[in-house]
Amino acid sequence: MKAWEANIRKVVPYVPGEQPKDKDVIKLNTNENPYPPSPMVREALRNLNVDQFRKYPDPAITALVNELAGYYGVKPENVFVGVGSDDVLAMAFMTFFNSSKPILFPDITYSFYDVWADLLNIPYETQKLDENFQIVKEDYLKDNGGIIFPNPNAPTGVLQELSVVEEIISKNQDSIVMVDEAYIDFGGESALPLIEKYDNLLVVQTFSKSRSMAGMRIGYAFGGEKLIKYLNDVKYSFNSYTMNQTSIDLGVACVQDKEYFENTVQKIIKTREWTKEELKKIGFSFQDSMSNFIFATHESRKAKEIFEALREHKIYVRYFNKPRIDNFLRISIGTDAEMQQLIAFLKDYLR
């Protein structure tokens, strides 16, 4: 080993879902929205003033912050915007998780959490989900340096009732609780209204799933004014100009088209429910998903075997070679036509 290598920070990186170079595939492995963004986004792109690109973008991202505040009925001081929810969460880890006590998150959850904790030298403990992939709330009612969990969870799709979420928040007011709501628009009740009641709550959402804007990298968080100020202090100490002008302008246009957003979400929910019924008919089982994916296991065939067969036929789903979930597939919800092709292949393959 070279001498300089002794001073390198070494971590096991997060591994994102495969992005196949071949475009002639059915891509159901990264929970992207199968529908395009709002027509208002296309129009805003067409009308972009490219002369503005010679200037730095607004570091406060004021236009998008104000648009989100108006849409969700909060003050601009309650909104933080970052480059995808991953950026928002990473910034929040840096800002709020600085205790010598361990932070707590589920053992089956978004696999970036332990990566950030390791990268930032944050101690952590994972709390085991029960046999139905539900959070055991009592596991979070102990001394800690912070708490984070997705709701609905990823990769399971399981939703925690808001009453459970609130109990965890209310009994941990000496630490920050982050609720990662990347999939909340596909089912369930957001914890957003609770930011008025609890000053230790940060609620994180994204444009990547329900708003069809994963390629623009826009995420945002809601919290009390003090939390948002602390987040911005860290952001401005790290990189003042985090979001490019195009993302800001197109993000504003996306939020303005409420009708398109709601219609798209309902289409995905309808397709998800159809897919659940079809998967059950051919031997799959799963907890009820309230996200834009289904986390399923088959009664007689191994998940890895099915994953590889699907991949050979250019249908991509997600397989996790991890304890407790290595016999499950995470299947993103695509268009009706894509899901029909998936089911048709599985029926033929599994007979």
- Overall domain count for the chain: 2
Instruction: Check which CATH number belongs to the domain holding 130 and give it.
Output: 3.40.640.10
* Six token digits for residue 348: 């033929």
Instruction: Check which CATH number belongs to the domain holding 341 and give it.
Output: 3.90.1150.10
Listing DSSP states for 88-113 in one string gives HHHHHHHHH--SSSPEEEESSS-TTH
Say if residue 274 is in the same domain as residue 218: no
Say if residue 239 is in the same domain as residue 327: no
What does pTM read for this prediction? Answer: 0.96
Give strand pairing partners of 159: none
Give me the residues of the chain with pLDDT under 70, please.
none
Q: Which of 257, 280, 306 is the last residue of a domain?
A: 257
pLDDT digits (tens, 9 = 90+) for 34-60: 999 999 999 999 999 999 999 999 999
Say if residue 27 is in the same domain as residue 74: no
Say if residue 250 is in the same domain as residue 294: no
**Three-state secondary-structure class, residue 142:** coil
Closest CA to 113 of 93, 131, 133: 93
Say if residue 203 is in the same domain as residue 334: no
Residue 177 — φ and ψ, nearest 5°? -110, 125
Say if residue 281 is in the same domain as residue 270: yes
Structure confidence at residue 107 (pLDDT):
98
Say if residue 249 is in the same domain as residue 290: no
Structure confidence at residue 241 (pLDDT):
85
Contacts of 74 (CB under 8 A, 6+ apart): 192, 195, 222
Q: Which of 214, 234, 257 is the last residue of a domain?
A: 257
Say if residue 212 is in the same domain as residue 225: yes
Question: Amino acid identity of 253?
Answer: A
Q: Which of 197, 229, 257 is the last residue of a domain?
A: 257
Give strand pairing partners of 124: 103
Say if residue 52 is in the same domain as residue 139: yes
Say if residue 33 is in the same domain as residue 60: no
Relative to beta strand 147-150, strand 177-180 is parallel
Cα–Cα distance measured from residue 61 to residue 84, given in angstroms and rounded to the nearest whole number: 14
Cα–Cα distance measured from residue 272 to residue 57, given in angstroms and rounded to the nearest whole number: 39
pLDDT digits (tens, 9 = 90+) for 327-340: 999 999 999 999 99
* Six token digits for residue 67: 């648009």
Cα–Cα distance measured from residue 93 to residue 120, given in angstroms and rounded to the nearest whole number: 8
Say if residue 146 is in the same domain as residue 60: yes
Say if residue 56 is in the same domain as residue 179: yes
346 is in which domain, residue-wise?
A: 3-37+259-350
Give 133's DSSP letter: S
